[in-house]
Structure formats: C-alpha cells, structure tokens
A and B are shown apart, each in its own frame.
Chain A
Amino acid sequence: MSRMADAAIAIPGMIADFLERRSTVGVAATRDRERRPRAHHLSGWRVADEGRELLCLVGRGFTAGLLEGLREFPAMAVTVEEIGPHETYQFKGVVVGSRPAEPSDREIWERLRARFSAAVQRVDPHFGLTDRQLRDFIPPPELALRLALREIFLQTPGPGAGRRLVPPPEQP
C-alpha cells in the first residue's frame, strides 16, 4: 500500500531541532501527469505552523514548471540529511501555498550554506574545494512552498530506512 496518509501531523521536537540546527542538505520530489518524478534542490527549510508545515525554499534552476505541476498534483516529498552522521528523514505531504522567495529567506539560505560547507569540509577536508565553492553549491532561493505534512519516515541508511515514524505504523 503506497497511498499517502491524509490526516495532518506535527513534527516531533527532536526532528524539528534536527531540521533547524543540524541538517545540511535537502532535496524534494514532485511529479507530472505521466507520474514522472521531478527532483529539486532546496535552498533551505523552516518548521512552520507549530510543526504542521515545512516551509521549503526551492533553489534557482529547480523551479521550471514546478508551480504549474503542483496545481494539478500537489503531493511533494522532501528528504533532509545531516552530512557525516547520515541522519536522514523524509517528509511527505501536500503543497498548500507558495510565494516568490523574499529577502528574509536569504537568512535561512545563508545558514544552510554555512552548515553545508562546514559539514563537507569536516567529512572530507581533502575534497579540494574552497568554502566559497561549497557555499555556492546551494542555489539561492527562488520559490517558497508551504508543505502541509502527512507522514515522516526515517531514511538514515540501514535496515530501518523507510520506517514510518509519524503517524506511527499501523498495528497488525
């Protein structure tokens, strides 16, 4: 059974803390009419509406046709990881609102760029790229999407990856 749960949920405190302080890379997926998936790099994210929503900043270069597609198929998945420990969660839900990126979103973007660059240099100091090159890898925000959350999954690599955390798995 792969249908998404349809009741609103809220992000648990530990995962909210992960999102706001430790996560270093985020990506999203949407789909088109032919059920072809589209991947999008995120420029940042923020817990919103008391944990019921995730504000997702979609980066420049990854917004072409996105709003048009979401109007017909609003489902979106977001995966956020902390580089190094590989702690990863996937958030699924529906996009309930959008706006162009605002100047205030740049603060979220700048914090993510700094965390990303520091994490890559910590994991592999010999990667050969400067702090500036690493920061530039996170594209500037172009679009902000409000993702109303329906499900959260553990995605940390390992046998437990894919286990639904919220809402809890149904008991047999």
Chain B
Amino acid sequence: MTMLPEEIRDVLENGVPVVLATCSRDGVPNVSIVSQVYYVDPGRVAISFQFFNKTIRNVRENPHAQVVLNDLAGGLHWILDLEYDHSETEGPIFDAMNLQIEAIAGATGMKGIFKLRAADLYRVRRVELVPVS
C-alpha cells in the first residue's frame, strides 16, 4: 500500500486546481481540471462528485485515475496514481468536503454552481514528483 508523505497535505490544501485524468471502459482518455483533492488518510484521497460527467462515469467503469497536484510555491508537480474505491453521500468526509466546496465557490464566483453530490474516495497506488521547469 502506498502512503502519502505528510508534506503533501500543504499541497492538497494550497487552493491550486488539480489535473484529473481518467479512461473509459472503451479506452478513451478524459482529462479535467478540478478545484481540489482532499486528504482522507495516508492511503486515501477524495474527489468531489458535483455533476454527473464523464469523469464520474469513467471511474465507475474503470477505477484507474491519475491526478497532478500543482505545488507552485515548492516548484513541484505531484503525480498520484489512484484507484476509485467508493462514494459517500453523508458523514464526516462528505461534510468537510461540502464546507470547503462552499468556500471555494464563494472565492471563485461559482456560488450556486458548485454543489457536492458525493465524496468519491480513491486509494493511492503510486506517488511521483516532477520538478517544475
């Protein structure tokens, strides 16, 4: 099991959008930019499910995903290989994500558009660091 290093928590909470790549069962890649990836515990992260889009459909067909976290201050990209595990629509993880999404929506002019439907939980399979420039 891959464990996230403690220093990644600052990167996860830096407010910089995250790249999220998935792939359909038919093998068609998809890439989106999401507002945040949430730290759950050393082996898991969560991503918000706000709209029923291609990303959400893909990970339910094919659980593999990859995210790139952008550490502007540290000059690093953090690449995480993930595997979708399950969704939660209530409980402490959902509530904490909901609060943060409301804050992000307020700060980015997207209030009323961002709305959490579920917290999608992923297991971390690999961590790679790529220096910026």
Contacts and interface: CB of A to CB of B under 8 A. Distances in A.
B106 interface: no
Contacts of A75: 27-29
B110 A36 contact: no
Contacts of A128: 73
B67 A162 contact: no
Interface in A1-59: 2-4, 25, 27-31, 34-39, 41
Interface size class of A (residues with CB under 8 A): 35 or more
A77 interface: yes
Nearest to A35: B23
Contact of B64 (A4, A35, A86): A35
A55 B72 CA distance: 26
B31 A77 contact: yes
B26 interface: yes
B64 A61 contact: no
Contacts of B72: 127, 129, 133-134, 137
Nearest to A83: B17
A106 B131 CA distance: 19
Interface residues of B, number: 42
A37 to B, nearest CB: 4
B57 A2 contact: yes
Contact of A73 (B27, B31, B54): B27
Interface in B72-116: 72-73, 75, 77, 79, 81, 108, 110, 113-114
B5 to A, nearest CB: 19
Interface of A: 2-4, 25, 27-31, 34-39, 41, 60-62, 73, 75-79, 81, 86, 88, 90, 92, 123, 127-129, 133-134, 136-140, 153, 155, 157-159, 161-162
9 contacts: A3-B28, A29-B31, A37-B23, A41-B68, A61-B132, A73-B27, A77-B31, A158-B113, A162-B51
Interface of B: 19-33, 51, 53-54, 57-58, 61-62, 64-68, 70, 72-73, 75, 77, 79, 81, 108, 110, 113-114, 130-133
